[in-house]
Amino acid sequence: MVGKLARWLRLLGFDVSYYSKIEDARLIELAEKENRIILTRDHELINKARKRKSLQERVLLIESERWEEQVEQVLDHFKLREEINSNSRCLDCNAQLKTLPKSRAKNLVPPFVYEQASVFVLCPVCGRVFWKGSHFRDMDKKLRRFTRL
């Protein structure tokens, strides 16, 4: 229910673990161990998590079904707008991306991308290469909506 929210928060640079299927007890245990905030649309999970002292302030019931509003809610609730660091994390693995010199990107991206883009980043976990260029203009436009202060 919050998978898209998780990916967009990563895109904005936040460290996000995501589980589509996990037992509540296990999720609560992981959140405590890894010092995480729980974001969910599940009332029952919220009630269970709030019984733990360490998590009382670290849970948020996601209200909207729309991912844009979900992102807004999280940014506002935890006052995170100034900590946004867009395009610094892999959407799929949550790993921090590393800058890739253009010369090393040559064999990893299609030739037209290599010609047009100047900034390349690599995910050290899954090996995906991301770049700044016309393909991502739409995404950048969406991102700007969240970065306005």
User: Contact residues for Zn ion (CB under 5 A)?
Assistant: 90, 92-93, 123, 125-126
Distance CA 92, CA 43 (A): 26
- 62 or 87, CB closer to Zn ion? 87
- 75 or 100, CB closer to Zn ion? 100
Least distance from C-beta 96 to Zn ion, angstroms? 10
Least distance from C-beta 7 to Zn ion, angstroms? 11
**Both tokens of residue 93?**
């693995």
How far CA 46 is from CA of 14, 21, 38, 75, in Å, comes to: 21, 16, 8, 19
Distance CA 73, CA 8 (A): 13
Least distance from C-beta 125 to Zn ion, angstroms? 5
- Among 73, 94, 132, smallest CA distance to 12 is for 94
- 16 or 90, CB closer to Zn ion? 90
